[in-house]
Amino acid sequence: MRVPWAPIRSDSSDNGPVSDLPRRAVTRTAKLATLPLGLAGRTAVGLGKRVGGRPAELVAAEVQARTAEQLFKVLGELKGGAMKFGQALSVFEAAMPEELAGPYRATLTKLQDAAPPMPAATVHKVLATELGPRWRRNFVDFDDSPAAAASIGQVHRAVWKDGREVAVKVQYPGAREALLSDLTQVSRMGRLAAGWIPGLDIKPILGELRARMSEELDYTLEAQSQHTFAAAFAGDEVFAIPDVLRSSEHLIVSEWLEGVPLSQLIAHGEKDSRDLVARRYMEFLLAGPARAGLLHADPHPGNYRLTADGRFGVLDFGAVKRLPDGMPPQIGQLLTLALAERDREVVTGLREEGFIKSSIEIDPHGLLEYLSPFLEPARHTSWTFSRAWMRDLFTHINDPRRPQWSIGLKLNLPPEYLLVHRVWLGGIAVLCQIGGEVPVLQVLADWLPGFDIDALDYVTVVE
């Protein structure tokens, strides 16, 4: 199966040129439909095998493995909004029940930094459009094999005309049309995904993807954001941000950043390395707004590297939240009040920020009980984020048998906090994948405006 924007060939019956969008949209819809339908079919086969006497555990494992394989095949090859949806899900694999996490973990993680590539001829055509017919004069060398393939573009390694190694990010032809189509069609997968991840509401994720689509499709805007980050962290001994050399609407040429991908460290990293990248990951989420006025809003592990000199490298700035004044200090203030168990002041502050509507009555003590598991890492001088803790969080917010469950239904999410909320929820999920130990209180004290660690002196802080 080939990507839908590849040039038409005589041996292809389901792909066509960019002008043939209606037919390709139907084809993409049909392929997306194979996911829930395929799961239903395999489940039926699995039930049949169980009736035939095969052990239920063996049948379940086989069904899950085959479903995971199809998930990557369909979402990866369709790219666009379908793959972005898969990447969003891959961040939350830490929340899956362990019996499901195994077969899906490797498959979903593959969507974070890899996908089937588009043909070299298509890449060359984009380069000729963006850089001119003599585009090769800009490069000493250009590798036609992609170094990475993502949702709306893929990256090639090259040597720029001044001798610097560069990453050339090329947008797929037809990406805009594919993204528009996919973000509509992929919503039918919501019920299926909700079954994998208890407590996760897919609709806000899809809504956020739609809201940011135009910005991510314009590589000129992404290049501006990347340059802002690179300037803010230039010469930094802790973080490494590659700068931009050339950009257009469908192309970015930036400095090459060598390093070990975070996904590899998650899978095989030693404890010291995982502890280091976990701390740097959390620090960067706060340091970006503080130093660049931007929140990096694409938290999945494929965007991060550990360089040979121990710096934390960051890539892909297509999705950002503009925070020119840094993180809102109200977040740090409310966190301080919650940790100090000043429940009535927490309710008042949440009302002022729009998290509790004026018409809603809420029990202050019950609210803190509901929030308590989320606050646990900040009650310790250091905390090891784990998949088990993440699963407990999702169970906590999704269990109607718990007395505080109804409190969660009374909370509102103001639009101005939507992206911040999504980034931090995704960030915590990635921290749980890393499994590293983080000095959470110190990081918050260093980087979160409004957080007052001195106000917690009378609170028992667990060593």
Residue 208 lies in a domain: no
Instruction: Identify which has the larger pLDDT, 190 or 39.
Output: 190
Three-state secondary structure call for residue 410 = coil
Residue 62 lies in a domain: yes
Residue 271 lies in a domain: no
Q: How many CA atoms lie within 13 A of 377 on its CB side?
A: 23
Rounded Cα–Cα distance for residues 185 and 173 (Å): 20
How many domains in the chain? 2
Residue 413 lies in a domain: yes
- How confident is the model over 196-255, as pLDDT tens digits? 444 345 565 566 556 666 677 889 999 999 999 999 999 999 999 999 999 999 999 999
Say yes or no to pLDDT of 43 above 50: no
Which of 132, 164, 199 delimits the end of a domain? 199
Name the band, by pLDDT with cuts 50, 70 and 90, for residue 265. Answer: very high
- Give the range with max mean pLDDT: 137-141, 208-212, 301-305, 370-374: 137-141
Rounded Cα–Cα distance for residues 397 and 179 (Å): 31
Residue 343 lies in a domain: yes
Q: Give yes or no: 298 in active site.
A: yes
List 182, 218, 275, 298, catalytic entry: 298
Name the band, by pLDDT with cuts 50, 70 and 90, for residue 415. Answer: confident
Whole-structure pTM value: 0.74
pLDDT number for residue 153: 84
Which residue is associated with the tokens 């718990």? 402
pLDDT cut 70: percent of the chain above it: 65
Boundaries of domain holding 67 = 21-111+183-199
- How confident is the model over 304-361, as pLDDT tens digits? 999 999 999 999 998 899 999 999 999 999 999 999 999 999 999 999 998 888 888 9
Which of 169, 199, 229 delimits the end of a domain? 199
Instruction: Identify which has the larger pLDDT, 400 or 294.
Output: 294
Residue 59 lies in a domain: yes
Residues 43 and 191 in one domain: yes
Instruction: Identify which has the larger pLDDT, 43 or 121.
Output: 121
Instruction: Phi first, then psi: give them for residue 13, nearest 5 degrees.
Output: -110, -10
Residue 317 lies in a domain: no
Query: Distances in Å between the alpha carbon of 269 and those of 91, 278, 350?
Result: 18, 12, 39
Which of 174, 199, 224 delimits the end of a domain? 199
Mean pLDDT to the nearest integer, 93-116: 53
Strands (E), 259-319: 260-261, 294-296, 304-306, 312-314
- How confident is the model over 58-71, as pLDDT tens digits? 444 454 455 555 55
Residue 12 lies in a domain: no
- How confident is the model over 432-463, as pLDDT tens digits? 999 999 999 999 999 999 999 988 864 444 44
